[in-house]
């Protein structure tokens, strides 16, 4: 059924029929994702009908109400890439998502009522963020899958942990929101993306995993205010942040999925240091390759590595070889990026995250992982989770 409906919806978009699904002003593939997401949710929730019902209700009801209210009554607008969304639509989505998650959880499970309420509040807040930053209808795919994964995990936790996770998300939202509002470094979509990433490091990892994210963010803002030309590198958007943050987030997910924190913490820091070095280079200092030379790139790389590893090193300590390996790998990938951009002077310098930066961030993580496997670099233990 899912395959047949997906094929029908794709054909409708290509050949111009099914106007009720494809007749929207913006480019969207949401109708094509819809049956696929329902099928994936069905596979992921075998034996848990309450979880299936919650995810599909958020997809079917929450998204429809948000689009209806936002397009008709939305006054306070914000930008996510080239799309306009409304605060009113997002608030309606939050309320509907909370009810769609809370009611099945309350009525179809034996979970305590406080857990049902707080779990629904946490998941609704997170998927509202996913819905806000999703482009071209991708929320029809990611939102229900996020409901299944996050709700399925948080409802296994005791009440104190659920309370703690809600408070953690609130604090991260306030800290990042105030910084972005004050300094205008990210646009609204970029701020939401960074909040979701920071909370993901906190929830899937621990405060030690979040520490380099927050210190790197603070250092980026400080150097941007001090050294960047007016308007340069400001208003960073969703696509740029997603491409930049995906390599370290991949290391975090692998660590969480394989229960191998010691193995993947070093690669996580290596990818994070590379991302920060590239960001300082293009978003702050705007180095001109033909004038600055390799020494400037090396300096930026060492600065990025130091800002990322300093917090975890103070908190947990680390073997000297691990620190030197992360610094060396960051220098190598930063020099490689500089050499690539020197050959292509027309390469984007501020807002776009090039494919080479994306690839080199993964190379940095892979290099640390390989050095660990060869026994040349010891593992870095981030400590136990909270």
Listed residues 96, 130, 156: the one ending a domain: 156
- In which region does residue 47 sit, left (phi positive, over 0), alpha (psi from -120 to 50) or beta (all else)? left
Highest mean pLDDT among 168-172, 285-289, 335-339: 168-172
Tell me whether residue 266 is in a domain. yes
Q: Say if residue 115 is in the same domain as residue 30.
A: yes
Q: Which residue has the higher pLDDT, 207 or 79?
A: 207
Q: Say if residue 142 is in the same domain as residue 233.
A: no
Tell me whether residue 310 is in a domain. yes
Tell me whether residue 135 is in a domain. yes
Listed residues 141, 156, 171: the one ending a domain: 156
Q: Say if residue 9 is in the same domain as residue 85.
A: yes
Structure tokens at 136: 């071209």
Tell me whether residue 181 is in a domain. no
- In which region does residue 184 sit, left (phi positive, over 0), alpha (psi from -120 to 50) or beta (all else)? left
Give the mean model confidence (pLDDT) for residues 178-200. 83
Q: Say if residue 268 is in the same domain as residue 377.
A: yes
For residue 53, what are the domain limits?
1-156
Strands 83-86 and 77-80: antiparallel
Q: Please state whether the predicted TM-score (pTM) of the whole model is above 0.75.
A: yes
C-alpha 66/C-alpha 18 separation (Å) is 22
Q: Say if residue 271 is in the same domain as residue 378.
A: yes
Q: Say if residue 202 is in the same domain as residue 255.
A: yes
Q: Say if residue 124 is in the same domain as residue 230.
A: no
Residue 327 — pLDDT band, cuts 50, 70, 90?
Answer: very high
Task: Provide the percentage of residues in the chain whose pLDDT is more than 90.
Answer: 40
What are the DSSP calls for 94-114, one per residue?
A: HHHHHHHHHHHHHHHS---HH
Listed residues 127, 156, 185: the one ending a domain: 156
Whether the CB-CB separation of 302 and 194 falls below 8 Å is answered with no
C-alpha 340/C-alpha 247 separation (Å) is 20
Tell me whether residue 185 is in a domain. no
Structure tokens at 186: 């990210």
Query: Please, which residues bridge with residue 80 across strands?
Result: 83
> Which pLDDT does position 201 carry in this prediction?
92
Residue with tokens 């394989």: 258
Write the DSSP symbol of residue 235.
Answer: S
C-alpha 195/C-alpha 175 separation (Å) is 9
Q: 50-103: per-residue pLDDT in tens?
A: 999 999 999 888 878 887 887 777 778 777 766 777 888 889 999 999 999 999
Residue with tokens 């995906």: 246
Q: Say if residue 251 is in the same domain as residue 124.
A: no
Tell me whether residue 151 is in a domain. yes
Residue with tokens 């779990």: 119
Sign of the dihedral through C-alpha 85, 213, 141, 352: positive
The helix (H) or strand (E) run that includes residue 179 is helix 159-183
> Which pLDDT does position 386 carry in this prediction?
45
Q: Say if residue 141 is in the same domain as residue 232.
A: no
Q: 146-167: per-residue pLDDT in tens?
A: 999 999 999 999 999 999 999 9
Structure tokens at 258: 């394989």
Distances (CA, A) of 342 to 282, 349, 358: 13, 11, 17
Q: Residue 86 phi/psi, 5° resolution?
A: -120, 150
Domain count, the chain: 2
Q: Say if residue 215 is in the same domain as residue 361.
A: yes
- Select from 267, 247, 240 the least CA-distant residue to 348: 240
Whether the CB-CB separation of 238 and 79 falls below 8 Å is answered with no
Q: Say if residue 7 is in the same domain as residue 135.
A: yes
Q: 250-300: per-residue pLDDT in tens?
A: 999 999 888 888 999 999 999 999 999 988 877 666 655 555 667 888 888
């Amino acid at each position: 059924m899912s395959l047949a409906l997906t094929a029908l919806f794709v054909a409708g978009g290509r050949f111009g029929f099914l106007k009720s699904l494809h007749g929207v002003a913006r480019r969207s593939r949401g109708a094509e994702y819809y049956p696929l997401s329902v099928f994936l949710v069905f596979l992921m929730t075998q034996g848990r009908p309450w979880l299936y019902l919650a995810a599909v209700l958020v997809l079917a009801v929450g998204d429809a109400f948000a689009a209806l209210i936002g397009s008709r009554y939305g006054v306070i607008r914000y930008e996510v890439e080239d799309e306009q969304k409304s605060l009113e639509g997002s608030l309606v989505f939050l309320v509907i998502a909370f009810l769609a998650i809370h009611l099945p959880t309350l009525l179809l499970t034996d979970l305590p009522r406080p857990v049902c309420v707080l779990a629904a509040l946490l998941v609704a807040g997170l998927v509202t963020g996913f819905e806000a930053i999703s482009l071209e209808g991708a929320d029809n795919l990611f939102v229900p899958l996020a409901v299944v994964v996050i709700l399925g995990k948080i409802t296994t936790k005791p009440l104190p942990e659920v309370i703690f996770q809600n408070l953690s998300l609130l604090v991260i939202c306030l800290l990042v929101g105030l910084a972005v509002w004050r300094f205008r470094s990210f646009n609204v979509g970029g701020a939401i993306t960074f909040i979701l990433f920071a909370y993901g490091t906190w929830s899937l990892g621990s405060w030690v995993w979040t520490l380099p994210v927050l210190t790197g963010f603070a250092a980026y803002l400080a150097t941007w205010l001090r050294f960047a030309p007016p308007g340069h590198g400001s208003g960073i958007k969703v696509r740029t942040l997603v491409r930049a943050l995906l390599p370290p987030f991949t290391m975090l997910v692998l660590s969480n999925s394989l229960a191998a924190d010691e193995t993947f913490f070093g690669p996580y820091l290596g990818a994070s240091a590379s991302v920060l070095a590239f960001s300082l280079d293009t978003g702050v200092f705007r180095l001109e390759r033909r004038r600055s030379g390799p020494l400037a790139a090396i300096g930026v790389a060492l600065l990025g590595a130091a800002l990322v590893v300093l917090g975890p090193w103070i908190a947990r300590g680390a073997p000297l070889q691990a620190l030197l390996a992360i610094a060396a790998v960051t220098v190598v990938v930063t020099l490689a990026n500089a050499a690539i951009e020197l050959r292509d002077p027309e390469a984007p310098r501020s807002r776009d995250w090039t494919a080479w930066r994306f690839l080199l961030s993964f190379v940095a993580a892979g290099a640390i992982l390989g050095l660990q496997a060869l026994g040349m670099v010891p593992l870095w233990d981030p400590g136990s989770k909270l």
